Structure 1
Amino acid sequence: MMLLRPPGVYRPQSDTSLLTGALGQALARAGIPAGARVLELGTGTGAVALAAARAGCEVVAVDVSAPAVLAARVNARVRGLPVRVLRGDLFAPVAGEVFDVIVANPPYVAGDADPAAVRGRARAWEAGRDGRVLLDRICQRAPRHLTPSGTLLLVHSALNGVAATLVSLRAAGMRASVVARHREPFGPVMRRRAARLAARGLLGPGQRHEDLVVVRADRIGAPGGGADGGEEEGHARERQPA
Protein backbone atom coordinates (compact mmCIF):
# COMPACT_ATOMS: atom_id res chain seq x y z
CA MET A 1 0.00 0.00 0.00
CA MET A 2 1.51 3.29 -1.14
CA LEU A 3 1.28 5.98 1.52
CA LEU A 4 2.26 9.63 1.65
CA ARG A 5 5.23 9.88 4.02
CA PRO A 6 6.79 13.33 4.52
CA PRO A 7 10.39 13.55 5.79
CA GLY A 8 10.61 12.65 9.47
CA VAL A 9 7.47 10.49 9.53
CA TYR A 10 7.97 6.88 10.58
CA ARG A 11 8.03 4.45 7.66
CA PRO A 12 5.76 1.40 8.19
CA GLN A 13 7.97 -1.58 9.01
CA SER A 14 7.70 -5.05 10.53
CA ASP A 15 6.18 -3.76 13.76
CA THR A 16 3.44 -2.04 11.75
CA SER A 17 2.64 -5.26 9.89
CA LEU A 18 2.66 -7.29 13.11
CA LEU A 19 0.27 -4.88 14.81
CA THR A 20 -2.03 -4.69 11.78
CA GLY A 21 -2.21 -8.50 11.67
CA ALA A 22 -3.02 -8.73 15.38
CA LEU A 23 -5.75 -6.12 14.95
CA GLY A 24 -7.25 -8.03 12.03
CA GLN A 25 -7.33 -11.26 14.04
CA ALA A 26 -8.90 -9.50 17.01
CA LEU A 27 -11.63 -7.96 14.87
CA ALA A 28 -12.34 -11.22 13.05
CA ARG A 29 -12.30 -13.71 15.91
CA ALA A 30 -12.64 -12.09 19.28
CA GLY A 31 -16.20 -10.86 19.47
CA ILE A 32 -15.29 -7.21 19.01
CA PRO A 33 -18.49 -5.52 17.84
CA ALA A 34 -19.09 -4.35 14.29
CA GLY A 35 -18.37 -0.66 14.00
CA ALA A 36 -16.06 -0.81 17.02
CA ARG A 37 -14.46 2.42 18.18
CA VAL A 38 -10.71 2.12 17.61
CA LEU A 39 -7.99 4.47 18.85
CA GLU A 40 -4.49 4.34 17.35
CA LEU A 41 -1.69 6.00 19.30
CA GLY A 42 1.37 7.07 17.30
CA THR A 43 -0.30 6.69 13.94
CA GLY A 44 2.59 7.87 11.72
CA THR A 45 1.37 7.50 8.13
CA GLY A 46 -1.91 6.08 9.41
CA ALA A 47 -1.34 2.53 8.09
CA VAL A 48 -2.96 0.74 11.03
CA ALA A 49 -5.76 3.29 11.33
CA LEU A 50 -6.57 2.82 7.64
CA ALA A 51 -6.76 -0.95 8.09
CA ALA A 52 -9.21 -0.50 10.97
CA ALA A 53 -11.33 1.92 8.95
CA ARG A 54 -11.44 -0.49 6.01
CA ALA A 55 -12.76 -3.12 8.43
CA GLY A 56 -15.70 -0.84 9.23
CA CYS A 57 -14.47 0.58 12.53
CA GLU A 58 -14.94 4.12 13.79
CA VAL A 59 -11.33 5.25 14.01
CA VAL A 60 -9.50 8.00 15.86
CA ALA A 61 -5.74 8.33 15.24
CA VAL A 62 -3.34 10.41 17.35
CA ASP A 63 0.25 11.52 16.82
CA VAL A 64 2.40 14.20 18.42
CA SER A 65 4.10 14.97 15.08
CA ALA A 66 2.48 17.59 12.84
CA PRO A 67 3.86 16.01 9.62
CA ALA A 68 2.50 12.61 10.72
CA VAL A 69 -0.94 14.08 11.37
CA LEU A 70 -0.91 15.68 7.93
CA ALA A 71 0.21 12.44 6.29
CA ALA A 72 -2.44 10.33 8.04
CA ARG A 73 -5.19 12.81 7.14
CA VAL A 74 -4.18 12.88 3.47
CA ASN A 75 -3.77 9.09 3.29
CA ALA A 76 -7.25 8.61 4.75
CA ARG A 77 -8.85 11.25 2.56
CA VAL A 78 -7.50 9.98 -0.76
CA ARG A 79 -8.90 6.53 0.11
CA GLY A 80 -12.26 7.90 1.21
CA LEU A 81 -11.84 6.48 4.71
CA PRO A 82 -13.39 8.35 7.67
CA VAL A 83 -10.43 8.50 10.06
CA ARG A 84 -10.40 11.31 12.64
CA VAL A 85 -6.75 12.34 13.05
CA LEU A 86 -5.73 14.46 16.03
CA ARG A 87 -2.43 15.97 17.10
CA GLY A 88 -1.31 15.57 20.68
CA ASP A 89 0.47 13.55 23.34
CA LEU A 90 -0.99 10.04 23.67
CA PHE A 91 -4.45 10.25 25.28
CA ALA A 92 -4.57 14.03 25.73
CA PRO A 93 -6.61 14.68 22.52
CA VAL A 94 -9.23 12.07 23.54
CA ALA A 95 -9.62 12.94 27.23
CA GLY A 96 -12.85 11.47 28.57
CA GLU A 97 -13.42 9.18 25.57
CA VAL A 98 -13.50 5.37 25.67
CA PHE A 99 -12.83 2.85 22.91
CA ASP A 100 -13.47 -0.80 22.14
CA VAL A 101 -9.89 -1.25 20.89
CA ILE A 102 -6.69 0.73 21.45
CA VAL A 103 -3.68 -0.03 19.24
CA ALA A 104 -0.26 1.48 19.85
CA ASN A 105 3.15 1.35 18.20
CA PRO A 106 5.09 3.88 20.29
CA PRO A 107 8.80 4.75 20.21
CA TYR A 108 10.64 2.01 22.15
CA VAL A 109 14.36 2.07 21.30
CA ALA A 110 16.57 2.31 24.39
CA GLY A 111 19.21 5.05 24.37
CA ASP A 112 20.73 7.97 26.21
CA ALA A 113 18.68 10.76 24.64
CA ASP A 114 15.88 12.50 26.56
CA PRO A 115 12.78 11.77 24.42
CA ALA A 116 11.21 15.07 25.47
CA ALA A 117 14.13 16.95 23.92
CA VAL A 118 14.30 14.95 20.67
CA ARG A 119 13.10 16.54 17.45
CA GLY A 120 12.98 15.36 13.84
CA ARG A 121 12.92 11.75 12.69
CA ALA A 122 14.53 10.39 15.89
CA ARG A 123 11.26 11.19 17.63
CA ALA A 124 9.90 8.02 16.03
CA TRP A 125 12.22 5.70 17.98
CA GLU A 126 13.95 7.37 20.97
CA ALA A 127 12.35 6.16 24.21
CA GLY A 128 14.77 6.76 27.10
CA ARG A 129 17.26 4.59 28.97
CA ASP A 130 15.16 1.42 28.95
CA GLY A 131 12.90 2.25 26.02
CA ARG A 132 9.83 2.35 28.25
CA VAL A 133 9.07 6.07 28.59
CA LEU A 134 5.90 5.82 26.50
CA LEU A 135 5.24 2.12 27.05
CA ASP A 136 4.77 2.62 30.79
CA ARG A 137 2.46 5.57 30.26
CA ILE A 138 0.31 3.58 27.84
CA CYS A 139 0.09 0.60 30.19
CA GLN A 140 -0.97 2.87 33.04
CA ARG A 141 -3.49 4.98 31.16
CA ALA A 142 -5.02 2.70 28.54
CA PRO A 143 -7.43 0.87 30.88
CA ARG A 144 -9.32 4.05 31.72
CA HIS A 145 -9.89 4.69 27.99
CA LEU A 146 -11.29 1.21 27.29
CA THR A 147 -14.91 0.08 27.42
CA PRO A 148 -15.70 -2.64 30.01
CA SER A 149 -15.01 -5.27 27.32
CA GLY A 150 -12.19 -3.35 25.63
CA THR A 151 -8.87 -4.60 24.22
CA LEU A 152 -5.39 -3.07 24.03
CA LEU A 153 -2.89 -4.20 21.35
CA LEU A 154 0.62 -2.90 21.99
CA VAL A 155 3.74 -3.63 19.93
CA HIS A 156 7.30 -3.17 21.18
CA SER A 157 10.70 -4.83 21.31
CA ALA A 158 11.37 -7.66 23.74
CA LEU A 159 14.48 -5.67 24.64
CA ASN A 160 12.19 -3.38 26.65
CA GLY A 161 11.10 -6.21 28.92
CA VAL A 162 7.99 -8.17 28.04
CA ALA A 163 7.43 -9.15 31.67
CA ALA A 164 7.32 -5.48 32.70
CA THR A 165 4.51 -4.84 30.23
CA LEU A 166 2.53 -7.90 31.29
CA VAL A 167 2.92 -7.16 35.00
CA SER A 168 1.88 -3.54 34.56
CA LEU A 169 -1.24 -4.42 32.59
CA ARG A 170 -2.24 -7.23 34.92
CA ALA A 171 -1.81 -4.90 37.88
CA ALA A 172 -4.30 -2.60 36.17
CA GLY A 173 -6.87 -5.42 36.20
CA MET A 174 -6.37 -6.70 32.67
CA ARG A 175 -5.74 -10.15 31.24
CA ALA A 176 -2.53 -9.85 29.22
CA SER A 177 -0.35 -12.11 27.06
CA VAL A 178 1.93 -12.07 24.02
CA VAL A 179 -0.13 -12.91 20.93
CA ALA A 180 2.47 -12.41 18.17
CA ARG A 181 6.26 -12.46 17.88
CA HIS A 182 8.65 -11.81 15.01
CA ARG A 183 12.46 -11.93 14.94
CA GLU A 184 14.57 -9.78 12.63
CA PRO A 185 18.13 -8.42 12.35
CA PHE A 186 19.16 -5.07 13.76
CA GLY A 187 18.85 -2.03 11.57
CA PRO A 188 21.30 0.88 11.48
CA VAL A 189 20.20 2.61 14.71
CA MET A 190 20.56 -0.53 16.81
CA ARG A 191 23.82 -1.51 15.14
CA ARG A 192 25.31 1.85 16.12
CA ARG A 193 24.31 1.51 19.76
CA ALA A 194 24.62 -2.27 20.22
CA ALA A 195 27.95 -2.07 22.07
CA ARG A 196 26.57 0.44 24.59
CA LEU A 197 23.42 -1.60 25.17
CA ALA A 198 25.45 -4.79 25.58
CA ALA A 199 27.65 -3.04 28.17
CA ARG A 200 24.49 -2.24 30.12
CA GLY A 201 23.36 -5.86 29.95
CA LEU A 202 20.43 -5.21 27.62
CA LEU A 203 21.89 -7.36 24.83
CA GLY A 204 23.60 -10.74 24.86
CA PRO A 205 27.21 -11.11 23.63
CA GLY A 206 27.29 -10.64 19.87
CA GLN A 207 23.51 -10.31 19.64
CA ARG A 208 22.51 -8.72 16.35
CA HIS A 209 18.82 -9.57 16.17
CA GLU A 210 15.73 -8.76 18.18
CA ASP A 211 12.17 -9.87 18.67
CA LEU A 212 9.07 -7.76 18.15
CA VAL A 213 6.12 -8.71 20.31
CA VAL A 214 2.46 -7.77 20.28
CA VAL A 215 0.93 -7.77 23.75
CA ARG A 216 -2.82 -8.09 23.95
CA ALA A 217 -4.60 -6.98 27.11
CA ASP A 218 -8.33 -7.38 27.71
CA ARG A 219 -10.51 -5.98 30.42
CA ILE A 220 -11.48 -8.89 32.67
CA GLY A 221 -14.61 -10.50 31.28
CA ALA A 222 -13.95 -9.40 27.69
CA PRO A 223 -14.78 -12.15 25.14
CA GLY A 224 -11.93 -13.84 23.32
CA GLY A 225 -9.15 -12.41 25.47
CA GLY A 226 -5.66 -13.86 25.53
CA ALA A 227 -4.81 -16.36 28.24
CA ASP A 228 -3.12 -14.95 31.31
CA GLY A 229 0.47 -16.10 31.33
CA GLY A 230 1.93 -15.60 27.85
CA GLU A 231 5.60 -15.16 27.00
CA GLU A 232 7.59 -13.21 29.56
CA GLU A 233 10.88 -12.23 27.96
CA GLY A 234 12.64 -12.12 24.59
CA HIS A 235 15.28 -10.21 22.71
CA ALA A 236 15.03 -6.91 20.90
CA ARG A 237 14.11 -4.77 17.93
CA GLU A 238 14.47 -1.22 16.71
CA ARG A 239 12.81 1.47 14.71
CA GLN A 240 15.05 2.15 11.74
CA PRO A 241 15.42 5.70 10.51
CA ALA A 242 13.55 6.71 7.41
Structure 2
Amino acid sequence: MADELVESSGPLLVTLPGVYAPQCDTWLLMAALDRENIGPGTAVLDIGTGSGALAVRAAQLGGEVTAVDIARRAVATARLNAILHRRRITVRRSDLTSAVRAHSYDLVLCNPPYVPAPAAGVPGHGASRAWDGGADGRSVVDRVCAGAPAVLRRGGVLLMVHSGLCDPGATLKRLGLVGLEATVSHRVRIPLGPVLLSRTRWLRERHLLENEETTEELVVIRAERT
Protein backbone atom coordinates (compact mmCIF):
# COMPACT_ATOMS: atom_id res chain seq x y z
CA MET A 1 0.00 0.00 0.00
CA ALA A 2 1.24 3.48 -0.80
CA ASP A 3 2.15 5.96 1.91
CA GLU A 4 -0.93 7.32 3.63
CA LEU A 5 -1.79 9.87 6.26
CA VAL A 6 -3.39 8.44 9.35
CA GLU A 7 -5.58 10.56 11.57
CA SER A 8 -6.37 9.94 15.21
CA SER A 9 -9.91 8.80 14.53
CA GLY A 10 -10.02 6.05 17.14
CA PRO A 11 -11.99 5.85 20.38
CA LEU A 12 -11.49 8.50 23.05
CA LEU A 13 -9.33 7.02 25.78
CA VAL A 14 -8.07 7.64 29.29
CA THR A 15 -4.32 7.04 29.69
CA LEU A 16 -2.81 6.71 33.16
CA PRO A 17 0.66 8.21 33.83
CA GLY A 18 3.44 5.98 32.54
CA VAL A 19 1.21 4.20 30.01
CA TYR A 20 1.92 4.55 26.29
CA ALA A 21 -0.60 7.02 24.85
CA PRO A 22 -2.02 6.29 21.38
CA GLN A 23 0.13 7.84 18.65
CA CYS A 24 0.73 7.56 14.91
CA ASP A 25 1.74 3.91 15.13
CA THR A 26 -1.50 3.16 17.01
CA TRP A 27 -3.64 4.84 14.36
CA LEU A 28 -1.75 3.16 11.51
CA LEU A 29 -2.30 -0.27 13.06
CA MET A 30 -5.93 0.64 13.72
CA ALA A 31 -6.37 1.49 10.03
CA ALA A 32 -5.06 -1.98 9.18
CA LEU A 33 -7.38 -3.52 11.78
CA ASP A 34 -10.37 -1.78 10.23
CA ARG A 35 -9.62 -3.51 6.90
CA GLU A 36 -9.85 -6.98 8.39
CA ASN A 37 -13.07 -8.99 8.42
CA ILE A 38 -13.90 -8.67 12.13
CA GLY A 39 -17.29 -9.71 13.41
CA PRO A 40 -19.12 -11.67 16.11
CA GLY A 41 -17.08 -14.69 17.09
CA THR A 42 -13.76 -13.37 15.78
CA ALA A 43 -11.17 -14.18 18.46
CA VAL A 44 -8.70 -11.29 18.82
CA LEU A 45 -5.51 -11.06 20.88
CA ASP A 46 -3.92 -7.64 21.51
CA ILE A 47 -0.30 -8.07 22.66
CA GLY A 48 1.16 -5.15 24.61
CA THR A 49 -2.20 -3.45 24.75
CA GLY A 50 -1.05 -0.27 26.55
CA SER A 51 -4.09 2.00 26.76
CA GLY A 52 -6.30 -0.68 25.20
CA ALA A 53 -7.00 1.47 22.13
CA LEU A 54 -6.76 -1.42 19.67
CA ALA A 55 -8.59 -3.81 21.97
CA VAL A 56 -11.48 -1.37 22.29
CA ARG A 57 -11.68 -0.87 18.51
CA ALA A 58 -11.61 -4.62 17.87
CA ALA A 59 -14.42 -5.07 20.41
CA GLN A 60 -16.40 -2.27 18.76
CA LEU A 61 -16.11 -4.21 15.49
CA GLY A 62 -17.61 -7.25 17.19
CA GLY A 63 -14.52 -9.25 18.11
CA GLU A 64 -14.10 -11.35 21.23
CA VAL A 65 -11.00 -9.64 22.57
CA THR A 66 -8.24 -10.66 24.95
CA ALA A 67 -5.60 -8.01 25.74
CA VAL A 68 -2.28 -8.55 27.52
CA ASP A 69 0.46 -6.27 28.83
CA ILE A 70 3.40 -6.72 31.19
CA ALA A 71 2.83 -3.34 32.90
CA ARG A 72 0.33 -3.21 35.75
CA ARG A 73 -0.70 0.36 34.92
CA ALA A 74 -1.35 -0.61 31.31
CA VAL A 75 -3.57 -3.49 32.47
CA ALA A 76 -5.49 -1.09 34.71
CA THR A 77 -5.78 1.48 31.91
CA ALA A 78 -7.06 -1.06 29.37
CA ARG A 79 -9.64 -2.34 31.86
CA LEU A 80 -10.76 1.21 32.60
CA ASN A 81 -11.16 2.04 28.90
CA ALA A 82 -13.09 -1.18 28.30
CA ILE A 83 -15.51 -0.15 31.06
CA LEU A 84 -15.80 3.43 29.77
CA HIS A 85 -16.66 2.13 26.29
CA ARG A 86 -18.94 -0.59 27.66
CA ARG A 87 -17.01 -3.37 25.95
CA ARG A 88 -16.34 -6.83 27.35
CA ILE A 89 -12.57 -7.31 27.03
CA THR A 90 -10.49 -9.86 28.92
CA VAL A 91 -7.34 -8.05 30.12
CA ARG A 92 -4.45 -10.00 31.65
CA ARG A 93 -0.98 -9.14 32.89
CA SER A 94 1.41 -11.17 30.77
CA ASP A 95 4.77 -11.09 29.02
CA LEU A 96 3.71 -11.41 25.37
CA THR A 97 1.67 -14.63 25.00
CA SER A 98 2.66 -16.53 28.15
CA ALA A 99 -0.79 -16.16 29.74
CA VAL A 100 -2.69 -17.33 26.67
CA ARG A 101 -0.64 -20.24 25.29
CA ALA A 102 -3.59 -22.63 25.62
CA HIS A 103 -5.70 -20.48 23.27
CA SER A 104 -5.64 -19.63 19.58
CA TYR A 105 -6.92 -16.56 17.77
CA ASP A 106 -8.19 -15.40 14.40
CA LEU A 107 -6.37 -12.07 14.68
CA VAL A 108 -3.33 -11.04 16.69
CA LEU A 109 -2.48 -7.34 17.06
CA CYS A 110 0.85 -6.03 18.30
CA ASN A 111 2.42 -2.60 18.70
CA PRO A 112 5.68 -3.73 20.34
CA PRO A 113 8.60 -1.71 21.69
CA TYR A 114 10.68 -1.15 18.54
CA VAL A 115 12.82 1.97 19.00
CA PRO A 116 16.57 1.21 18.81
CA ALA A 117 18.09 2.06 22.19
CA PRO A 118 21.65 2.61 23.45
CA ALA A 119 22.94 0.31 26.15
CA ALA A 120 21.73 2.79 28.78
CA GLY A 121 18.15 2.35 27.55
CA VAL A 122 17.70 -1.27 28.55
CA PRO A 123 14.18 -2.56 27.69
CA GLY A 124 12.00 -3.22 30.71
CA HIS A 125 12.91 -0.19 32.82
CA GLY A 126 10.23 2.41 33.60
CA ALA A 127 7.99 4.00 30.99
CA SER A 128 10.65 3.52 28.29
CA ARG A 129 9.89 -0.20 28.13
CA ALA A 130 6.86 0.79 26.04
CA TRP A 131 9.18 1.87 23.21
CA ASP A 132 12.79 0.71 23.76
CA GLY A 133 13.51 -2.39 21.68
CA GLY A 134 17.19 -3.05 22.33
CA ALA A 135 20.20 -2.00 20.25
CA ASP A 136 18.58 -2.88 16.92
CA GLY A 137 14.95 -2.34 17.97
CA ARG A 138 14.15 -6.02 17.49
CA SER A 139 14.39 -7.56 20.96
CA VAL A 140 10.59 -7.87 21.26
CA VAL A 141 9.76 -7.86 17.55
CA ASP A 142 11.74 -11.08 17.04
CA ARG A 143 9.99 -12.76 19.97
CA VAL A 144 6.60 -11.86 18.51
CA CYS A 145 7.65 -13.31 15.15
CA ALA A 146 8.75 -16.55 16.80
CA GLY A 147 5.66 -16.89 18.98
CA ALA A 148 2.93 -15.87 16.55
CA PRO A 149 2.28 -19.30 14.96
CA ALA A 150 1.54 -20.83 18.37
CA VAL A 151 -1.42 -18.51 18.99
CA LEU A 152 -2.74 -18.15 15.42
CA ARG A 153 -5.48 -20.40 14.09
CA ARG A 154 -5.20 -21.68 10.55
CA GLY A 155 -6.17 -18.73 8.37
CA GLY A 156 -5.40 -16.37 11.27
CA VAL A 157 -3.63 -13.06 10.76
CA LEU A 158 -0.93 -11.19 12.67
CA LEU A 159 -0.88 -7.39 12.33
CA MET A 160 2.23 -5.77 13.78
CA VAL A 161 3.46 -2.20 13.47
CA HIS A 162 7.07 -1.09 13.80
CA SER A 163 9.60 1.42 12.52
CA GLY A 164 11.57 1.07 9.34
CA LEU A 165 14.63 1.63 11.52
CA CYS A 166 14.39 -1.96 12.80
CA ASP A 167 14.39 -3.59 9.33
CA PRO A 168 10.97 -4.66 8.01
CA GLY A 169 12.77 -7.04 5.64
CA ALA A 170 14.11 -8.99 8.61
CA THR A 171 10.58 -9.24 10.01
CA LEU A 172 9.21 -10.59 6.74
CA LYS A 173 12.02 -13.15 6.58
CA ARG A 174 11.54 -14.34 10.17
CA LEU A 175 7.79 -14.71 9.72
CA GLY A 176 8.35 -16.64 6.52
CA LEU A 177 10.70 -19.02 8.31
CA VAL A 178 7.98 -19.91 10.83
CA GLY A 179 5.47 -20.63 8.07
CA LEU A 180 3.54 -17.37 7.78
CA GLU A 181 2.89 -15.48 4.54
CA ALA A 182 3.94 -11.92 5.34
CA THR A 183 3.75 -8.61 3.52
CA VAL A 184 3.93 -4.90 4.34
CA SER A 185 0.28 -3.85 4.19
CA HIS A 186 0.51 -0.21 5.32
CA ARG A 187 3.28 2.36 5.51
CA VAL A 188 3.60 6.03 6.34
CA ARG A 189 6.41 8.54 6.96
CA ILE A 190 6.21 10.75 10.02
CA PRO A 191 8.50 13.37 11.60
CA LEU A 192 10.97 12.04 14.14
CA GLY A 193 9.47 12.11 17.61
CA PRO A 194 11.12 13.27 20.84
CA VAL A 195 12.73 9.89 21.63
CA LEU A 196 14.34 9.49 18.21
CA LEU A 197 15.38 13.14 18.14
CA SER A 198 17.20 12.62 21.42
CA ARG A 199 19.11 9.72 19.83
CA THR A 200 19.86 11.08 16.36
CA ARG A 201 23.64 11.19 16.87
CA TRP A 202 23.73 7.62 18.14
CA LEU A 203 21.41 6.41 15.35
CA ARG A 204 23.60 8.06 12.71
CA GLU A 205 26.74 6.56 14.20
CA ARG A 206 25.09 3.13 13.84
CA HIS A 207 23.95 3.98 10.28
CA LEU A 208 20.32 3.48 11.25
CA LEU A 209 19.51 7.07 10.31
CA GLU A 210 20.90 8.99 7.36
CA ASN A 211 22.52 12.38 7.87
CA GLU A 212 19.95 15.18 7.69
CA GLU A 213 17.08 12.68 7.76
CA THR A 214 14.19 14.10 9.79
CA THR A 215 11.48 11.46 9.28
CA GLU A 216 10.98 7.77 9.94
CA GLU A 217 8.86 5.21 8.16
CA LEU A 218 6.25 3.21 10.06
CA VAL A 219 5.06 -0.06 8.58
CA VAL A 220 2.34 -2.57 9.35
CA ILE A 221 3.36 -6.17 8.75
CA ARG A 222 0.46 -8.49 7.86
CA ALA A 223 1.23 -12.18 8.24
CA GLU A 224 -1.25 -15.00 7.61
CA ARG A 225 -1.10 -18.60 8.73
CA THR A 226 -2.29 -20.34 5.58
**Pick from 199, 202, 206: which aligns with 1:196?**
202
Counterpart of 2:68 in structure 1 is 62
Does 1:147 pair with 2:153? yes
Q: Give the distance between the partners of 1:89 and 1:183, measured in 2 at CA.
A: 30
Q: Give the distance between the partners of 1:175 and 1:211, measured in 2 at CA.
A: 22
Report the Cα offset of residue 206 of structure 1: 1.1
Unaligned runs of 5+ in 1: 221-242
TM-score of the aligned structures, taking structure 2 as reference length: 0.92
SS at match of 1:73: helix
SS at match of 1:182: strand
**Pick from 193, 196, 214: which aligns with 1:187?**
193
Does 1:5 pair with 2:15? yes
Q: Give the distance between the partners of 1:179 and 1:78, measured in 2 at CA.
A: 31
Counterpart of 2:4 in structure 1 is none
**Pick from 153, 178, 182: which aligns with 1:176?**
182
Unaligned runs of 5+ in 2: 1-10
Identity of aligned residues (%): 44
**C-alpha contact 2:114 2:138 (8 A) present in aligned 1:** yes
Matched pairs, number: 214
* AA partner of residue 53 (structure 2): A
**Pick from 123, 130, 142: which aligns with 1:115?**
123
Report the Cα offset of residue 2 of structure 1: 2.5
Report the Cα offset of residue 34 of structure 1: 3.9
Counterpart of 2:28 in structure 1 is 18
- Which deviations, in whole Å up to 9, do the C-alpha atoms of 1:123-157 show, x marking residues without a partner? 11111000001000000001111001110000000
Q: Give the distance between the partners of 2:188 and 2:168, measured in 1 at CA.
A: 14
Q: How does 1:32-181 map to 2 (within 5 A)?
A: 34-112=40-118, 113-116=121-124, 118-119=125-126, 121-181=127-187
Q: Give the distance between the partners of 1:78 and 1:46, measured in 2 at CA.
A: 11
Q: Give the distance between the partners of 1:209 and 1:143, measured in 2 at CA.
A: 33
**C-alpha contact 2:51 2:74 (8 A) present in aligned 1:** yes
Task: Give 4+ residue runs of structure 1 displaced > 6 Å after superposition.
Answer: none
Report the Cα offset of residue 78 of structure 1: 1.9
Q: Give the distance between the partners of 1:47 and 1:217, measured in 2 at CA.
A: 21
TM-score of the aligned structures, taking structure 1 as reference length: 0.86
Q: Give the distance between the partners of 1:111 and 1:80, measured in 2 at CA.
A: 38
